[in-house]
C-alpha cells in the first residue's frame, strides 16, 4: 500500500493528526509520503524518517492556487499512490482539482471552510464542496457536528466519523507542583489556554471573562500558550499581571499538567485536540459549545453556550475555587481519553477505511 497525505497546515492540530497517521501507517508496512509546505510538520516527519515532499501553498485560496494545483498534480503523478488523503480545506481544494477522481481520494476537512467564512465567500465554499463531492471517494469527519454541518448543506459524499485522538501513553496525569517548578509558575489556581492566537481560537473572549474570574478567585493565574497574528494587540489590551503570555512552545504537556483547568474559548472547531490532550493529562476542561466539544468533553468539565462570556467566567472560576470538583472531572476525562480518544484506535479506523477504499478501487 502506498498512500500520500497532503496538508496545508503544518502546525497545531491538523499537523499533529497528519503526523500520527503517517507514523501509524508506516508501522503497518505501508509506503507513506507527505506533501506539505515547510514548517514544523515537515521537520518532525524528517526526524522520524517519513518521506516529505515540498508543496508550497498558502492557507487561503487565490490566484496562486492554480500553480499550487499544477505542482501537486505533477507530484502525485510521480509518486503514483494507491490512495491520497487530503487534510484541510486548502489541500481539499487543490488535491481534488489535481486528481479529479483518478485515484481513490479521502478528504478530511478538520473544520469546513464555510463554517468560518461569511457572505459571498461562504456561498462559494458551500457550492465548491457540493461540486467536489464527485471527486471525493471517502469523507472523513472528526466529529458528529462536522458531519452534520456538511449534510445540512447537501454534501452527500460517503462519510465516516473518526474522532481525533491523542497518545494517552505519552500524555498522563503527573505532578502539578513539579510541572509548575519546571515552568517557573507560582503555586496558585491556574487556568491554561493552548492555541494559535487568532480570532477563530477566541482568546479575546477568555480575556474578557478573566476579570470576573479574578473577582471570585483573586489569586488566580492565566497562562496563554501559543503565538499568532492577534497576540501583540490582545497582549497590549490585556496587560494584567495575572495573565502570562508564554508564546509558542513545541512541547505543551507540562502546561496541561500545571493547570487546574484548561480552557478552550474557540469560535469554531471540527474536534479540537486541546480538550483531548487535557483530558489525557487528567485535567478538567471548560469550553464553548462549538463543533465536537460536547462529544469530546462529555461530563469531564463544563461546556457552555458559544460566545457566552459570563458563563465561561463562571465555569472557570467554579473549578479554580473547587479543586475537588476539578480533580474529579479530571479523572473522568482521563477515562474518556483512554476509552474513546486514544490515537491507536484512530489510526486503526483510518487504516480500515483506506484498505476498504483501495480494495474497492482495485
What's the average model confidence in pLDDT over 222-228? 94
Instruction: Using DSSP bridges, classify how beta strands 2-7 and 138-141 pair: parallel, antiparallel or unpaired.
Output: unpaired
Q: 83: Cβ–Cβ under 8 A, 6 or more apart, which residues?
A: 1, 2, 3, 4, 103, 104, 105, 106, 354, 357, 358, 361
- Report pLDDT for 248: 83
- Report pLDDT for 62: 79
Chain centroid to CA 206: 19
Closest CA to 25 of 8, 9, 48: 48
In the predicted model, what is the mean pLDDT of the chain? 93
- Report pLDDT for 19: 93
Helices (H), 164-227: 176-183, 203-216
Question: Strand, helix or coil at 64?
Answer: coil
Set of cell numbers at residue 166: 491523542
Residue 140: which H helix or E strand, with range? strand 138-141
**Tell me: the pLDDT tens digits for 25-83?**
999 999 999 999 998 999 999 999 999 999 998 887 878 899 999 999 999 999 999 99
Residue 76: which H helix or E strand, with range? helix 65-79
**Tell me: the pLDDT tens digits for 328-355?**
999 999 999 999 999 888 899 999 999 9
Q: Is the pLDDT of residue 361 over 60?
A: no
- Report pLDDT for 362: 43
Q: Is the pLDDT of residue 125 over 50?
A: yes
DSSP state string for 188-200: S-EEEEES--SGG
Question: Strand, helix or coil at 234?
Answer: helix
Domains of the chain: 2-165+342-361 (3.40.50.2000), 176-340 (3.40.50.2000)
Question: Strand, helix or coil at 359?
Answer: helix
Strand ranges for 227-342 from DSSP E: 243-247, 261-264, 284-288, 301-304
**Tell me: the pLDDT tens digits for 274-320?**
999 999 999 999 999 999 999 999 999 999 999 999 999 999 999 99
Set of cell numbers at residue 259: 493547570
**Tell me: the pLDDT tens digits for 77-119?**
999 999 999 999 999 999 999 999 999 999 999 989 898 888 9
- Report pLDDT for 359: 84
Phi, psi of 272 (to 5 degrees): -70, 145
Closest CA to 307 of 287, 293, 292, 291: 287
Amino acid at each position: 500500500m502506498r498512500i500520500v497525505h497532503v496538508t496545508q497546515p503544518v502546525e497545531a492540530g491538523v499537523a499533529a493528526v497528519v503526523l500520527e497517521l503517517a507514523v501509524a501507517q508506516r508501522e503497518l508496512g505501508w509506503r507513506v509520503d507527505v506533501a506539505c509546505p515547510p514548517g514544523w510538520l515537515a521537520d518532525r516527519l524528517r526526524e522520524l524518517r517519513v518521506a516529505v515532499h515540498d508543496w508550497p501553498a498558502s492557507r487561503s485560496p487565490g490566484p496562486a492556487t492554480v500553480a499550487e494545483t499544477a505542482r501537486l498534480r505533477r507530484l502525485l503523478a510521480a509518486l503514483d499512490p494507491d490512495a491520497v488523503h487530503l487534510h484541510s480545506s486548502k489541500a481539499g481544494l487543490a488535491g481534488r482539482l489535481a486528481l479529479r477522481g483518478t485515484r481513490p481520494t479521502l478528504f478530511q476537512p478538520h473544520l469546513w471552510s464555510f463554517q468560518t467564512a461569511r457572505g459571498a465567500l461562504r456561498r462559494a465554499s458551500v457550492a465548491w464542496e457540493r461540486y467536489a463531492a464527485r471527486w471525493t471517494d471517502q469523507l472523513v469527519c472528526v466529529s458528529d457536528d462536522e458531519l452534520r454541518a456538511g449534510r445540512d448543506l447537501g454534501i452527500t459524499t460517503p462519510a465516516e466519523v473518526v474522532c481525533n485522538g491523542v497518545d494517552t501513553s505519552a500524555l498522563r496525569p503527573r505532578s502539578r507542583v513539579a510541572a509548575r517548578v519546571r515552568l517557573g509558575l507560582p503555586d496558585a489556581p491556574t487556568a491554561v489556554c493552548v492555541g494559535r492566537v487568532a480570532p477563530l481560537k477566541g482568546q479575546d473572549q477568555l480575556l474578557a471573562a478573566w476579570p470576573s474570574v479574578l473577582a471570585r478567585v483573586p489569586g488566580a493565574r492565566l497562562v496563554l500558550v501559543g503565538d499568532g497574528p492577534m497576540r501583540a494587540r490582545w497582549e497590549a489590551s490585556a496587560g494584567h499581571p495575572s495573565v502570562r503570555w508564554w508564546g509558542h512552545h513545541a512541547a505543551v504537556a507540562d502546561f496541561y499538567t500545571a493547570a487546574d483547568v484548561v480552557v478552550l474559548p474557540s469560535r469554531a472547531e471540527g474536534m479540537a485536540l486541546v480538550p483531548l490532550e487535557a483530558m489525557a493529562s487528567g485535567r478538567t476542561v471548560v469550553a464553548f459549545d462549538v463543533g465536537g466539544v460536547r462529544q469530546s468533553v462529555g461530563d469531564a468539565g463544563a461546556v457552555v453556550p458559544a460566545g457566552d462570556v459570563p458563563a465561561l467566567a463562571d465555569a472557570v472560576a467554579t473549578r479554580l475555587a473547587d479543586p475537588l470538583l476539578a480533580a474529579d472531572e479530571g479523572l473522568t476525562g482521563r477515562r474518556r481519553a483512554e476509552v474513546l480518544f486514544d490515537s491507536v484506535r484512530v489510526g486503526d479506523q483510518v487504516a480500515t477505511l483506506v484498505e476498504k477504499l483501495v480494495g474497492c478501487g482495485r
